[in-house]
A and B are shown apart, each in its own frame.
Chain A
Amino acid sequence: MEILVCVKRVPDTSENEIELNSAGNDIERDDLVYSVNEWDNYAVEEALQIVDKAGGSVTVVTVGDDESEEVLRREMAMGADKGILLSDDAFEGADGRGIATILKAAVDQGSYDLILTGAQADDGAAQVGGMLAAMLDVPYASLVNKIDVNGDKITVGREIEGGNQEMHEIALPCVLSIQTGINEPRYVGIRGIRKVASVEIPTLGAGDLGLDAGAVAAKVKRLDYFLPDMGEGAEMLEGDTDEIIEKLIEMLKAKGGLK
């Protein structure tokens, strides 16, 4: 089984508080810590577990700049066999459709039975996997939280409402977007990262992929970031801890929160 996993380098929201910059039109990017998109880690782990059972290899691919190489190396340290960086000035400002177009061109240069993405990334759009599947004209399932491989077919579970699971049988090749919680991604130590530090990662640009700038022109453009007016928000309890607790206990009693 040849598996391609599409990953993305994103600001790590567990390491950073995302805030607006002083101009109020973008997030504050100084000192941001970046890491691999959380969902993508689960996708890579799932790919590694499938290959452990069914054989084959795992390739990780990302669209980004030179710094995105570090997330490919991290996923290779987890056990992915190969990394491919798709990078070109023409790719800057690409929307989800543009990213899917670039990935599709890379997929066409290989031969993959299964393509995995994270269910979503930092912008919460959950769009690239479904677009890629449609461009490749292969089946798609989103929010996948279970995969069983049986020959040239796989059984997948989709996470739907109420903790229920929607089960499908899908013919390969296909694209799946992976939900967190499907597995427990393995730990990557500094030693693992060092091991792959000098492995060559091929970089493909628009020309290598046969894409012109028009193919990735964005129809959807983000103009800024801003903080919406959310009205009054919560009544904040302030003071020393004892005062806060006393006030809170009174409120809980009044609202029926203490028995």
Chain B
Amino acid sequence: MAQLFAYILHKDGELDDSAMELLAAAKKIDAGANPTAIVAGAPDGLDDVCNKAAAGYSEVWKVASDALAYPDAEITRKILVNILPADGIVLLSHEHFAMDLAPGLSVKLDSAFAADVVDIEGADGDTLKLVRQAYGGAVSAHVDCDASAGAVLTLRPGVFAAEDVSAGGTVVDKSGEAGDTATARKFIEIVEAEAGDVDITKSEVLVSVGRGVEDEDNIEVAFDLAKAMGADVSCSRPIVDAKWMAKARQVGTSGQTVKPKVYLACGISGSFQHMGGIKGNPFIVAINKNAKAPIFQVADVGIVADILEFLPDLTEKIEEA
């Protein structure tokens, strides 16, 4: 089996939750695998991050570079091409950084590429047996990935359960092999999201609407219900894309992370990007007219109904009570 690598995300000196998930995923490819963690970043504080990674990984490659004061994917790709063997299997967490980095990395390494892997059934020789999803999670697919010349895999965050480990690994300094870091794309700054009129990250009860609301004029059914319940209104991505609500009300990995006690998902299909923004294990009620919507697999309670009829009825009954 080829050597396995895990690219470790870290911020403010702390490992991302995905760091140990990648280790668990590597063990699903090969139970005896000892994957190598790669920790790249600006020199300041990087040793501390490497030591944290070494708690789970038996070997950690440290790549300290002033060019990575901001973790830029284009620069990181150049560095990885310089330090990685061509036939390695590289694991990354499937989020915005890997989406920027990984497809191009697979081309530069001349490796196979599989994105947003949700399960690994093992390896048959050089063939990785993977599971992906399609059509927004409506169906899954078994996928064979020929890793004979290496592979780059991005793994869905949160699906590979991190195990308690104590590897007591060693840190190897690879900074000298990073090579040229000049790129034609220059990072300028992070523009922070504008604050909205309501901070949904603090809401205890959320009435959240998605595509099922169908038209901007119908949004009021959610606001009416929220008013009756003493809740706030949030939404899924299509509502913000359509400019029917402010970005500050969007729940999901590209929006806000919310921690309510109760979450009413109204006409929301339940993509993993949306569910990724819901933390703290709330009581989730899903109302959707499509009985096969993926949201019913993750909700506590489900109701098959058209929200445009159901929400006004519910509002009326709550107001009567």
User: Which chain A residues have a beta carbon within 8 Å of chain B's beta carbons?
Assistant: 11, 13-14, 17-20, 27, 96-97, 100, 119, 122-131, 133-135, 138-143, 155, 157-171, 174, 177, 180-181, 184, 219-228, 230-231, 233-237, 241-242, 244-246, 248-249, 251-252, 255-259
Contacts and interface: CB of A to CB of B under 8 A. Distances in A.
Contacts of B229: 252, 257-259
B261 A257 contact: yes
B237 A158 contact: no
Contact of B205 (A19, A168, A233, A259): A259
Contacts of B143: 220-223
B286 interface: yes
Interface residues of B, number: 91
Contact of B241 (A130, A167, A180): A180
9 contacts: A97-B107, A97-B112, A126-B116, A131-B107, A161-B95, A161-B253, A168-B186, A169-B188, A170-B185
Contacts of B285: 248, 251-252, 257
Given A174-B185, A236-B303, A251-B301, 12 more contacts: A122-B135, A124-B115, A125-B114, A127-B115, A130-B103, A140-B185, A161-B96, A226-B140, A234-B296, A235-B300, A255-B262, A256-B262
B314 A245 contact: yes
Contacts of A157: 191
A183 to B, nearest CB: 10
A124 B134 CA distance: 6
Given A127-B115, A255-B283, A169 B186 contact: yes
Contact of A134 (B108, B131, B211, B254): B108
Contact of B113 (A127, A222, A241, A246): A127
A123 B116 CA distance: 10
B296 A233 contact: yes
A126 B292 CA distance: 25
Interface of B: 74, 77, 95-96, 99-108, 112-116, 131-136, 138-146, 149, 183-193, 204-205, 211, 229-231, 237-238, 240-241, 243, 247-248, 250, 253-257, 261-262, 264, 283-286, 290, 292, 296-305, 309-310, 313-314, 317-318, 321
B100 A130 contact: yes
Given A97-B106, A221-B143, A222-B141, A162 B257 contact: yes
B99 A19 contact: no
Contact of B114 (A135, A220, A234): A220
A124 B118 CA distance: 12
Given A142-B96, A160-B96, A165-B190, A174 B184 contact: yes
Contacts of B99: 119, 126, 130, 142-143, 177
A163 B193 contact: yes
Given A142-B100, A181-B240, A233-B296, A219 B112 contact: yes
Contacts of B240: 181
B262 A257 contact: yes
Contact of B297 (A174, A224, A230, A246): A230
A244 B317 CA distance: 11
A225 to B, nearest CB: 4
Contacts of B300: 234-235
Contact of B103 (A27, A134, A236): A134
Given A123-B132, A163-B254, A237 B302 contact: yes
